[in-house]
């Protein structure tokens, strides 16, 4: 049985639900945090005067971080 249910809203009427064990959920959160940190670091180095370049947004209004690649 899963310890944690993680829900990701894909569109207004659909979502992905992951039922994970606690260690799996922790690894997922670490991977997400690492990717967000890498993306923010990349954006801070772009643009003129430290101002980042706007990125396209997905259908849900959130910026796209690209495909997930487990390490």
Determine contact, residues 54/47, Cβ cutoff 8 Å: no
Determine contact, residues 9/18, Cβ cutoff 8 Å: no
Tens of pLDDT, residue by residue over 32-68, are 999 999 998 888 876 555 455 555 555 555 556 566 5
Instruction: State pTM to two decimals.
Output: 0.53
For 12-70, list the strands marked E by DSSP. Answer: 14-20
d(CA 71, CA 29): 13
Tens of pLDDT, residue by residue over 5-20, are 988 888 888 999 999 9
Picking from 65, 41, 63, the residue whose alpha carbon sits closest to that of residue 52 is 41
């Amino acid at each position: 049985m899963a310890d944690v249910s993680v829900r990701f809203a894909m569109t207004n009427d659909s979502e992905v639900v992951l039922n994970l064990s606690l260690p799996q959920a922790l690894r997922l959160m670490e991977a997400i945090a690492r990717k967000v940190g890498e993306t923010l670091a990349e954006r801070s180095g772009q643009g003129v005067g430290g101002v980042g370049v706007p990125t396209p947004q997905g259908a849900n209004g959130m910026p796209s971080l690209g495909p997930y690649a487990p390490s």
